[in-house]
Amino acid sequence: MFCYQCQETAKGVGCSVNGVCGKKGDVANLQDLLIYILKGISIANIKAKETGVSIDRVGKFVMENLFSTITNANFNRSDFIDRIKNALKLKKEITSTIEKKGISLSGLHDSVTWHSDSVDEFDEKAKGVGVTTTENEDVRSLRELIIYGSKGVSAYLEHAENLGYCDDNIHRFIQKALASTTDDTLSAEDLVALVLECGKIGVDVMALLDKANTETYGTPEITNVNIGVRNNPGILISGHDLKDMEELLKQTKGTGVDVYTHGEMLSANSYPAFKKYDHFVGNYGNAWWKQKEEFEKFNGTILMTTNCIVPPKDSYKDRIYTTGPVGFEGIKHIPEREKSGAKDFSAIIEHAKKCAPPIELENGEITTGFAHGTVLGLADKVVAAVKNGDIKRFFVMAGCDGRMKSRDYYTEFAKALPKDTVILTAGCAKYRYNKLDMGDIGGIPRVLDAGQCNDSYSLAVVALKLKEVFGLDDINDLPISFNIAWYEQKAVTVLLALLYLGVKKIHLGPTLPGFLSPNITDVLVEKFGIGGITNVEDDINMFMASS
């Protein structure tokens, strides 16, 4: 195996035996093979469309399977074997259709023509189709950047489609992107252009998901979220999928089982549609990487809706259920909903009834719900505070959290910020500082939490609106600095989206991506001013000097 798609990859270079995330080498290889076959499906489907043939389910299939390869989503070998078999079957259907049109497959990439029914051959083939098969380091870097950005796009698109919001243009781009990574005729400049196109698609898909969420569940409201517990058995729901949240709340109503959010599902507490449920208690715990300690103490059942699962301890393994793209050997999986139906959560609910109430980790409240619709409602107040000098600078500190001790930097950075600054955040990075007493500026909280990682779109909307209000030509002339923590591929999509919107001088930490070659890093530094982090004092001085 070789994998360097996440921030915690071994030594910042790449995992080559097993993943730091807990992913076994054989599973990593099967993920590589699945992606390889998805590339073949994409090439074949593009060819089929040129002949006037349309197979509707291809886009959804590619999206769902690409999503399953994102970091901390699926560790289940048998699941990937099934996915590969289904992918080969779909590819065969597409290629047979092409051949019936009298078009030869000769000369097409091996990912299109390769086929096998043997799991042993899957394992053998998987060893030769991974990241390192692209020999040129810079081309490899750009290809992987495109693939990782497309993985994040796929994740966001699936959430939107679960709510009935679709965009065929986004599906077409994902297939175009995957196909492009097999094309040796594309230059580095061509690939850079695709990277930026991925950023545009990132903006489009986050806007689509924002529309899906708000039109379905209402505009998020400023909400003080309870972080204590009640004396009832509970279900803890983690991940990102609000459709799963809705269906779980409906099915637990009147059962005596409370529902708590965890990790990035925290933002569900701010949607008006969910506030009518009296058994929706609040949020339990922190970011994804603390789940081994927190899930053990929760006592009840746990539902993992998207990525963010880590290999569970035996002490609570029997209480975890997965759904959607998530999978782990030996853990119960809740199947997909049938057309026009809902997922059946009865098993996890009945299990929860037999469990003890959660052990309280903390008490009090944290505040969320500062999506763009809410913040723009405060625009006059915010603009006045900036013009009066009460707010000197905004810091966008969105992104991901992780296990590394070096991520304490973000807590210390938040603590050390001048009192006339405001943090704009989204994603699980907020757990590094959202429970600090940061105070407010004229009634404006100093930490404005927009929600999940995809809600970084809200922060971009706010920035663009402020640019308009202040009559500026360039978003980079605003008193806004970007100091973003990253971990996995959805954060890559957010980064590319910000670059597409023209944001420069973004700082990434705690380390720069291992998949960026030195030459590609130099291009990003020269063209966009991308930088890393150093230490809290020097970084704050650097950011404030640009005020």
For the sheet containing 258-262, what is the strand order? 280-283, 258-262, 234-238, 301-304, 320-323, 332-334
Cα 330 to Cα 318: distance, rounded to the nearest angstrom? 8
Q: Which residues of 399-418 are buried (b: 16+ CB within 10 A; e: fewer)?
A: bbbbbbeebebbeebbeebe
**Chain segment 199-210, per-residue pLDDT in tens:** 999 999 999 999
DSSP 8-state secondary structure symbol assigned to residue 74: B
Cα 67 to Cα 73: distance, rounded to the nearest angstrom? 8
Q: Which residues of 449-473 are buried (b: 16+ CB within 10 A; e: fewer)?
A: bbbbbbbbbbbbbbbebbbeeeeee
Cα 191 to Cα 485: distance, rounded to the nearest angstrom? 25
User: Model confidence at 356, in pLDDT bands (50, 70, 90)?
Assistant: very high
User: Model confidence at 53, in pLDDT bands (50, 70, 90)?
Assistant: confident
Report domain extents, the chain. Answer: 1-133, 223-353, 371-545
Report the Cα 293 to chain-centroid distance in Å. Answer: 23
Q: Copy the structure tokens of residue 69.
A: 């390869």
**Chain segment 239-296, per-residue pLDDT in tens:** 999 999 999 999 999 999 999 999 999 999 999 999 999 999 999 999 999 999 999 9
Q: What is the 3-state secondary structure (H, E, C) of 116-165?
A: CCCHHHHHHHHCCCCHHHCCCHHHHHHHHHHHHHHHHHHHHHHHHHHCCC
Q: Copy the structure tokens of residue 64.
A: 């769902």
Q: Copy the structure tokens of residue 400.
A: 């991901």
Domain 223-353 and domain 371-545, same fold? Reply is yes
pLDDT at residue 379, rounded to an integer:
85
**508 pLDDT exceeds 70?**
yes
Taking the C-alpha atoms of 165, 487, 199 and 186 in order, what is their torsion angle to the nearest 10 degrees? -120
Answer whether CATH 3.40.50.2030 is correct for domain 223-353: yes
Beta bridge partners of 481: 395
**Chain segment 182-234, per-residue pLDDT in tens:** 999 999 999 999 999 999 999 999 999 999 999 999 999 999 999 999 999 99
Among left, alpha and beta (phi > 0; psi -120 to 50; other), residue 244 is alpha
365-368/223-226 β-pairing: antiparallel
Q: What's the average model confidence in pLDDT over 466-488?
A: 94
- CA distances to 402, 489, 533, 541 from 506, rounded to whole Å, are 19, 17, 10, 15
Q: Copy the structure tokens of residue 52.
A: 């006037």
pLDDT at residue 338, rounded to an integer:
87
Report the percent of the chain where pLDDT is more than 90: 95
**Which fold is adopted by the domain 1-133?**
Substrate Binding Domain Of Dnak; Chain:A; Domain 2 (1.20.1270)
**454 pLDDT exceeds 80?**
yes
Q: What is the DSSP string of 20-47?
A: TTS--HHHHHHHHHHHHHHHHHHHHHHH
Q: Copy the structure tokens of residue 482.
A: 């970007």
pLDDT at residue 93, rounded to an integer:
96
pLDDT at residue 546, rounded to an integer:
76
Longest dimension (CA), the chain: 71
**30 pLDDT exceeds 70?**
yes
Cα 474 to Cα 501: distance, rounded to the nearest angstrom? 10
pLDDT at residue 397, rounded to an integer:
97
Phi/psi of residue 171, nearest 5 degrees = -60, -45
**So what CATH class is 371-545?**
alpha beta
Length of the chain: 547
pLDDT at residue 547, rounded to an integer:
56
Average pLDDT, the chain: 96
Half-sphere exposure of 80 (CA within 13 A, CB side): 32
